[in-house]
């Protein structure tokens, strides 16, 4: 039986971490799978990991990015020095322990999930090991970031991208290198048996509460919509650095009875909420794949997204299985939400088409693509 190692920064909250858990759960059906994590942020993985998967934590330290930022903001020189010294110590441990793991690893396949891991895998991975980079983020016109991904993957055998557009982009960048670019989408773990009835007056959005996800824009849009449709509520599932700011906006606009911040929730809870909702709203500035869109589509919930989210452009054919709004236009976004609120039959029509399209992202389909890559390389 072949052994596969997945290099992960941690197994806490995040889209990459969710994908790592899902991939490990798929591959352990056929291979011996180990996840090598730099940081142990929680007692167990936030996302469910099959008991057959071995998890190996490489350090006993935790990053202090937020503490350092607070110290800098308060201009506390002693605290800045203390936190800065600790941060350097953490980064050195991250580097040394991961390189040591890569050098000593007896796996047939190693999959790296961060650009720095890609680089170390290329520099220190054994010749006979199949070395794969796995890039989840869209460069979003940050060509410095894109150049870093290109440089970090030059020595690897393959770079797996989660969208066709990213595969085409990095394929051109790496055309003269040994690394071959492959498209394998992220996976949805199951398609619900029943389609959502779309009867409720509920809007929903799921994701990390951070600036690039555009949740403040979502609240501003909802505040406008609420004036004409006060009986339609908004559920936001997720946690992150913007939580307090979002709470403040909700309170200032007297929306406490209409907007609910649910915090981080498990898959069962999210599935239940999606099934009870009628429209999914995505206001991200950037989104590499948009797994939350696939999850909403699997329930037959129609989705509206700004086309600045690259993953949304990959998944949505506007007017068929959802709607893409150009130029982050509030007016156009609100008009489409209003159209769907007023037209239940349109909600059902679009939701049905979107649900039919998610089959290509199921475990059966995606796991075959990964196995084919591993077995035929």
For residues 331 and 228, membership in a common domain is answered with yes
Per-residue model confidence (pLDDT) at position 293: 92
For residues 68 and 168, membership in a common domain is answered with yes
For residues 180 and 212, membership in a common domain is answered with no
Please give the residue range of the domain that contains residue 315.
Answer: 202-360
How far is 52 from 3, CA to CA, in rounded Å?
A: 12
Q: In the chain, what percentage of residues exceed pLDDT 70?
A: 100
Q: Is the pLDDT of residue 99 over 80?
A: yes
For residues 341 and 313, membership in a common domain is answered with yes
For residues 354 and 371, membership in a common domain is answered with no
Q: Assess if residue 193 is contained within a domain.
A: no
Residues 6+ apart with CB under 8 A from 84: 68
According to DSSP, residue 36 is labeled E
Paired with 202 in beta bridges are 233
How far is 181 from 175, CA to CA, in rounded Å?
A: 9
Among 211, 235, 186, 220, smallest CA distance to 361 is for 186
Q: How many domains does the chain have?
A: 2
CA 41 to chain CA mean position, Å: 18
With bands split at pLDDT 50, 70 and 90, how would you rate the model's confidence at 376?
Answer: confident
For residues 175 and 246, membership in a common domain is answered with no
How far is 51 from 80, CA to CA, in rounded Å?
A: 41
Q: Assess if residue 26 is contained within a domain.
A: yes
For residues 343 and 369, membership in a common domain is answered with no
For residues 40 and 71, membership in a common domain is answered with yes
Q: Assess if residue 213 is contained within a domain.
A: yes
């709004």: which residue's tokens? Answer: 325
Q: Assess if residue 195 is contained within a domain.
A: no
Residues 6+ apart with CB under 8 A from 197: none
Q: Assess if residue 194 is contained within a domain.
A: no
- Give per-residue pLDDT as tens, 133-172: 999 988 888 899 999 999 999 999 999 999 888 999 999 9
Residues 6+ apart with CB under 8 A from 377: 130, 157, 158
What is the CATH classification number for the domain harbouring 231?
3.40.50.2000
- Give per-residue pLDDT as tens, 67-84: 878 878 878 888 888 888
- Give per-residue pLDDT as tens, 205-246: 999 999 999 999 999 999 999 999 999 999 999 999 999 999
DSSP structure string for 278-302:
SEEEE--S--SS-HHHHHHHHTT--
∠ CA 362-367-372 to the nearest 5 degrees? 140
For residues 98 and 236, membership in a common domain is answered with no
For residues 161 and 210, membership in a common domain is answered with no
How far is 212 from 217, CA to CA, in rounded Å?
A: 10
For residues 296 and 227, membership in a common domain is answered with yes
Q: Assess if residue 197 is contained within a domain.
A: no
For residues 352 and 367, membership in a common domain is answered with no
> Looking at residues 51-75, what average pLDDT do you find?
88
Q: Assess if residue 236 is contained within a domain.
A: yes
**Whole-model pTM above 0.75?**
yes
- Give per-residue pLDDT as tens, 28-50: 999 999 999 999 999 999 999 99
Q: Assess if residue 321 is contained within a domain.
A: yes
Q: Give the chain's mean pLDDT.
A: 94
């Amino acid at each position: 039986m072949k052994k596969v190692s997945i290099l992960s920064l941690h197994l806490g909250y995040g889209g990459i971490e969710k994908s790592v858990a899902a991939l490990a759960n798929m591959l352990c059906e056929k291979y011996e799978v180990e996840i090598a994590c730099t940081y142990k942020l929680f007692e167990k993985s936030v996302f469910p990991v099959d008991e057959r998967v071995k998890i190996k934590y490489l350090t006993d330290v935790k990053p202090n990015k937020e503490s350092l930022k607070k110290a800098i903001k308060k201009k506390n020189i002693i605290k800045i020095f203390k936190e800065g010294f600790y941060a350097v110590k953490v980064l050195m441990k991250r580097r040394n322990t991961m390189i040591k793991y890569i050098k000593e690893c007896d796996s047939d396949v190693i999959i790296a999930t961060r650009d720095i891991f890609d680089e170390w895998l290329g520099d220190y991975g054994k010749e006979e090991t199949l070395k794969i980079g796995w890039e989840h983020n869209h460069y979003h016109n940050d060509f410095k970031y894109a150049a870093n991904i290109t440089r970090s993957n030059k020595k690897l055998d393959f770079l797996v991208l989660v969208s066709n557009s990213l595969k085409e982009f990095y394929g051109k960048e790496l055309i003269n290198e040994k690394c071959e670019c492959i498209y394998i989408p992220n996976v949805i773990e199951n398609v619900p048996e029943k389609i959502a009835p779309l009867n409720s007056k509920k809007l929903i959005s799921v994701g990390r509460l951070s600036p690039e996800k555009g949740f403040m824009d979502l609240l501003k849009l909802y505040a406008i919509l609420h004036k004409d449709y006060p009986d339609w509520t908004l559920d936001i599932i997720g946690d992150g650095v913007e939580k307090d700011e979002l709470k403040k906006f909700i309170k200032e606009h007297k929306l406490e009875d209409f907007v609910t911040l649910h915090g981080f929730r498990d898959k069962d809870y999210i599935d239940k909420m999606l099934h009870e909702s009628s429209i999914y709203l995505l206001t991200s500035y950037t989104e590499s794949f948009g797994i939350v869109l696939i999850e909403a589509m699997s329930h037959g919930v129609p989705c509206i997204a700004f086309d600045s989210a690259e993953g949304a452009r990959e998944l949505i054919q506007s007017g068929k299985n959802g709607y893409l709004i150009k130029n982050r236009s509030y007016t156009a976004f609100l008009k489409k939400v209003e159209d769907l609120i007023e037209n239940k039959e349109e909600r059902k029509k679009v939701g049905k088409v979107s649900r039919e399209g998610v089959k290509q992202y199921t475990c059966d389909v995606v796991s075959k693509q990964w196995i084919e890559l591993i077995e035929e390389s």
